[in-house]
Chain A
């Protein structure tokens, strides 16, 4: 694949977290008994008419705001094609006048991916094929559940700015974080509330023109998205290198077989016969709508990452190595507020970030409930050397699990109370017990520092701060008496 560039554009369908469907009052809910959340409108019964759900419009515009789109007057069209899970045999969707146009999404790595459009449309029902191994052809019966029919969707179409499988996954993960953070969607790919189609093409590195693309469907997880793009790109490269041509078509990703196969060619593609939906009026974003769309807009992931980066490296300096990944982790788990609070309380930012990205990240749900003041106090104690790293981690997990005051928890765990005198005594006792090793250490055998430190940790039951012990050993070797409080 060397010498080739993989170009990807993604179409992400996100179900909106509205209480009701897009054009009727039926509940928008996943997992109910089939065909229990339906009415004449979402069943497309003769004579029924759609009435636009204002909340869905607000949420669509909220997505537009979060993706820096131009929010415009828009209208709905009918996309006509026969399919049993589409009750009216047309889908009400936005076509050439979508609500959100233009925009971008900044990825954690710093790349900016352009957004072409983000438009509103209704979801279809769901067909289950019985017999014939569940495949459409050969199935004996098809059962349709219309609970999902009419659920509001926003289709977010990226520009072909994405380079390769890894970036595609990063884009979808970031987009999902934005959708969840803004409360517009629950972003659950496994429940189908977030669905992705990938337009994949390849071109020789350094070429400006886009290659012929294939649209890959049936990508049900970030993993299948990555695998499918890798496979599809490799297929196209092999084809081109063998002197062949890529045919524009829609391809189906088979997760089990790990390959894509042709669904339909461009010639076989539907003629959707779009025309303006006469049952709905034009949608004009008035002040009220725009205000509701932006109400309570939280900091977005990119803004949260920037906030942490600025704390770590004020005045535009470089973020320390290793911290960038931790920032991404902390923000995607929603633990960045803890770090910000700790920084505000005067705690060491780097240490706070490390504890959030490593220890707190193991139980993010519970950690998000952590009292920021307690977290800040803990980080301060560790930075001050009053707790060893090991001790600090233990206290943190206790705080996450049960809450409380870090000093009190540390005391209860027996971590505090190992004062400077006690520590010095412990060191002296170890030196006395192991004179030979001590002498070799004094003679310059550095690896024995580790042995002596281990002995101190053992004799104190792990309560000693390793850094403090190392400092005491070093000072004692220099012949100077260890001064309490001069360890840092």
Chain B
């Protein structure tokens, strides 16, 4: 299996920070960078299907505005001229925001998500909206109403999900960075399957205002990038308190790039042994190799058993659907999106939702409605909340002996399209190792580290306690340096060449 993106050439495939530096220095115009990216997209996206919409017109205007600032000697921002792709559940005035659902097809929000506003203020240029599992419910991007995205490493395989479009777009070198959202692993798992870096920040570090909600207490926006440093740069831009999100932490964005060179000397790292048992040999081997690399870099690495974390999966599949059943109630045909007429309002509601939602969304709405129903609430939702507390306590114990934890991101490498769509439970297991961090509200990132089964990339997951982003990124940087260069999407490989 060969790394993807070769035919695009390194010209359009430079790390975001290199692009920004060149644009800021006036060596290249934002407009030229954009045109190259649009060309790449036009050339590759027909087969990959990363994008639901490409916003060329708005992007050209944004790029020209950046060039104008450069020409006038103004600060064009830290991400000046960097093409960015947005998962299609982030609200944008310039393009429809569909969540890859028929029910929101064509809906253009009258406002931008806070993260979108911040990217624009930093000079980034949004090139389009990426495909996803419908309403972020899935782990393969096959649950998109508009068809699946394909993995650039192997077009017969899934890119992971639900932020599959964003992960594949970065992996293919169509854009250097993208935003995704992670409710149970939806940034990290596709990042791992596509050989890119994916970060789920601490809950509350990034504003959710303008992120179409799936499960509000778990959702968090984060970057997908070809390099750890680019991911850090994007998080520094989009993170930080937002008064429009009451759950946003009253803190500035974490400062991450300044710690990337600090190394891991003396850092205590725990390897989550329970998560190695069921992972594929290739995925487990990658984690062990990563542990060795950290030891070699001076970290004190130990295996730790925290079996409670694996109970998170069942709690997640109660909590997330429960919140989703409420969050998705508003798609009723009354105010926006799809409407299928009926003789009365109840019939109109029912027909609209029957026609507008795909099977996985319906399944989760039913699960969640059931879990919250009178008579079942305690047995399901109440119990799931208790398990959630157990997971948080288990993490707290583990972090008594370690600053960060190491685990596989995914139990397997990218699987073939169609392999798991018939069996929802099999699909749900794809998030077994990523879910605990969402339940606890902790940060976690996936760093491409090795090639596994079939020569496909394997990501290693670095987990940290709440607001442990700086330690997490230090580990991420060391792993990136120690990784098999062939395991990473060619964009960064080309940059290092």
Contacts and interface: CB of A to CB of B under 8 A. Distances in A.
B225 interface: no
Q: Range of interface residues on chain A?
A: 20 to 34
A93 B492 CA distance: 50
A49 interface: yes
B367 to A, nearest CB: 13
A275 B381 contact: yes
Contacts of A44: 330, 335
B184 to A, nearest CB: 15
B258 interface: no
Given A271-B374, A273-B326, A279-B247, A84 B97 contact: no
Interface string B186-217: 00000000000000000000001111110111
Interface string B219-247: 00000000000000000000000011111
A144 interface: yes
B216 A275 contact: no
B54 to A, nearest CB: 21
A36 to B, nearest CB: 15
Given A82-B329, A279-B247, A45 B322 contact: no
Q: Which of B89, B211, B330, B349 has the most CB of A within 10 A?
A: B330
Contacts, number: 99
B139 to A, nearest CB: 22
A278 interface: yes
Contacts of B216: 278-279
Contacts of B107: 46
A281 B97 contact: no
Nearest to B346: A82
Contact of A278 (B217, B243, B345): B217
Contacts of B332: 82, 84, 89
Nearest to A137: B344
Contacts of A137: 344
Contacts of B2: none
A273 B373 contact: yes
Interface string A397-427: 0000000000000000000000000000000
**Most chain B CB inside 10 Å of its own CB: which residue of A51, A87, A137:** A51
Interface in B325-351: 325-326, 329-330, 332, 334-336, 344-346, 349
A45 B336 contact: yes
A82 B247 contact: no
B246 A279 contact: yes
A82 B216 CA distance: 20
Contacts of B381: 275
B163 interface: no
Contacts of B97: 46-47
Contacts of B455: none
B104 A46 contact: yes
Contact of A88 (B212, B330, B336, B344): B330
B468 interface: no
Interface string A270-300: 0101110011110000000000000000000
A280 B332 CA distance: 23
Given A45-B110, A273-B372, A281 B246 contact: yes
B364 to A, nearest CB: 15
Contacts of B373: 271, 273
Nearest to B208: A49
A45 to B, nearest CB: 7
Contact of B110 (A40, A84, A275): A40
A57 to B, nearest CB: 13
B412 to A, nearest CB: 31
Contacts of B40: none
A52 interface: yes
Contacts of B334: 84, 144
B428 to A, nearest CB: 21
Given A51-B246, A82-B346, A90 B329 contact: yes
A45 B92 CA distance: 13
8 contacts: A43-B335, A47-B211, A47-B213, A48-B111, A51-B243, A271-B373, A273-B372, A278-B247
Interface of A: 40, 43-52, 78, 80, 82, 84, 87-90, 137, 142, 144, 271, 273-275, 278-281
Given A47-B113, A144-B334, 14 more contacts: A44-B330, A44-B335, A46-B99, A50-B246, A51-B245, A51-B246, A80-B372, A84-B345, A88-B330, A90-B329, A273-B325, A275-B323, A278-B215, A278-B216
